[in-house]
Structure 1
Amino acid sequence: MISLFEHAGGWQGLRRFIDVFYTSVLADPLLHPLFGQGRPEHVTHLTAFTAETFGGPDDFTANMGGFPHIIAVHRGLKITEEQRSRFVELYMAAADTAGLPADAPFREALRSHVEFGSRVALQNSHAETDDALHPLREVPLWTWPE
């Protein structure tokens, strides 16, 4: 069976998706405060993270700071549940806009990926100590739903 990475169109498909998503996040009044004016490298980092998670190249871990970088950028953000839910909503809407595959198994994997990841980010954004962080310490590998 092909990976989620390949099914999504590889790097180009995910880059298009993340670019649409990031543009929508920066334009959203609820999420904009978390992202400020944006960072030029964010689209590349999020694309690399998603690619690696979906079974693509490990560039995020090998060259972009890996999971410790993700923990660091979320700490102190104090993400609200409303912001987390809006993030998921915009993520799934971007999948439609960017033309990612619409088959149910892929969309189920995409939704479970962003739901899980956004909950990890929510927890880490409130962690005052390392013990309060989510226990995940490496980029997870996401696969097709069972």
Structure 2
Amino acid sequence: METLFEHAGGQEGLHRFVDAFYGSVLADPLLQPLFGRGRPDHVTHLTAFTAETFGGPTTFTTDMGGFAHLIAVHRGLKITEEQRRRFVELYMAAADAVGLPADPPFREALRSHVEFGSQVALQNSHAETDDQLHPIREVPLWTWPE
């Protein structure tokens, strides 16, 4: 069965998507404070994370610090629920803007992926101790909805 990674257009398709998404985040007044002026490696990291999550190469884990890095960059951000919802909205809008597949199963997987991930980031952004972190400690593998 085709992976979500393959269905999304592989590395190239996901990079185009993440690049458009990141541009919209940096231009958004509600989210821009979380991202500052931007990080040159953010598109590469988020593309690698998404690719790995969707069944592609494990570059995020093997070469980019893996989930521990993800936890570290979110800690202390104090993400609000409003910011989390806007993040999801821009993520899905970027999928439309770059023409990611629009079939309902793929879009359901894409939405559930960003909803779950943004909930984890929200929790971790408020954690003051390791016990308050979300229990997930490795890149999750996302698959087609059942």
TM class by smaller structure:
over 0.9
1:14-44 C-alpha deviation (Å, 9 max, x unpaired): 0000000000000000000000000000000
Give the letter for the 1:87 counterpart: F
1:106 corresponds to: 106
1:19 corresponds to: 19
Q: TM-score, normalised by structure 1?
A: 1.00
1:91-110 C-alpha deviation (Å, 9 max, x unpaired): 00000001100000000000
1:54-97 C-alpha deviation (Å, 9 max, x unpaired): 00000000000000000000000000000000000000000000
CA distance in 2 between counterparts of 1:107 and 1:38 reads 27
Give the letter for the 1:56 counterpart: G
1:139 equivalent in alignment to 2:139: yes
Report how many aligned residue pairs link the two structures. Answer: 146
% identical equivalent positions: 84
1:39 corresponds to: 39
Pairing of 1:67-146 with structure 2 (within 5 A): 67-146=67-146
Alignment root-mean-square deviation, CA: 0.2
2:49 aligned counterpart, secondary structure:
helix
1:5 corresponds to: 5
Query: What runs of 5+ residues in structure 2 fail to find an aligned partner?
Result: none
CA distance in 1 between counterparts of 2:103 and 2:19 reads 21
CA distance in 1 between counterparts of 2:18 and 2:41 reads 12
CA distance in 2 between counterparts of 1:69 and 1:97 reads 29
2:61 corresponds to: 61
Give the letter for the 1:49 counterpart: F
Runs of 4+ residues deviating >2 angstroms: none
CA distance in 2 between counterparts of 1:50 and 1:18 reads 9
